Amino acid sequence: MVSLDPAALLSLMRLSSPALPIGGFSYSQGLESAIDAAWVRTEADVRDWITSLLHANIGRFDAPLCMALFRAVAADDHEQAAGLHARWLASRETAELRAETLQMGQSLLQMLAGLELEPALAARVDSLRSAGECALPLAWGLAARAFGLEPLAALAAWCWAWLENQVMAAIKTVPLGQQAGQRLFSALRPALSSVLEHAADPTVVDLPTRWSNFAPGFAIASARHETQYSRLFRS
């Protein structure tokens, strides 16, 4: 698993922090719709919903693709990164999910543009900002490179940020108490660790034909959210 020196650990915490100014707190990724439809009503329901997503589209598609993309960015393989970026965008099944990843990606690029970066990395950030369409995983890979994080550490930060957003959305919307949120983090940690171990396996990350984001309940919840009358979140 991930082994970090203190400087890298601080960088990982920085990248996964909810203080990262990219607006992640404003999205629920369909969870709000599932709650509105009474598919998710209790702490146990939230645990089951998030666990299902971790084992389905996060574990089988998002995490392996992000791992491959972070590796491509770290190796300056622009062609591979561009292909993976295109596949990520194609896999966003609803307008909200596509808008979410593009907004957060551009926000992260804007943050990076305000930092002192090595010239080649700064040029890459400027080029993507000018292009106007950069999904979050590609920007995340560039941020990981700027912060000196290896791909697996970048993926750990990515997965933790996703999990934290889901739990916090549930706390606000079910609603749940803060202690319930902490119980959820404890209960979901094994599944999250399994996702990271799976994505780090070369036989998984190097075989994109084995990736699958088939999770129809998630797609339906996200689609329903686009016409939901009363809502707190943007997805």
pLDDT of 191 reads 96
Residues lower than pLDDT 50 in the chain: none
CATH number at residue 141: 1.10.4190.10
Q: Which domain holds residue 136?
A: 21-225
pLDDT (tens digit, 9 = 90+) per residue, 100-122?
Answer: 999 999 999 999 999 999 999 99
Task: Give 6's contacts (C-beta < 8 A, 6+ positions apart).
Answer: none
Domains held by the chain: number: 1
pTM score, two decimals?
0.95
Please write down the HEC assignment for all residues of 18-83: CCCCCCHHHCCCCHHHHHHCCCCCCHHHHHHHHHHHHHHHHHHHHHHHHHHHHHHHHCCCHHHHHH
pLDDT of 181 reads 97
CA–CA dist 108, 117 (Å, integer) = 14
CA–CA dist 234, 175 (Å, integer) = 18
Q: Within a domain: residue 231? A: no
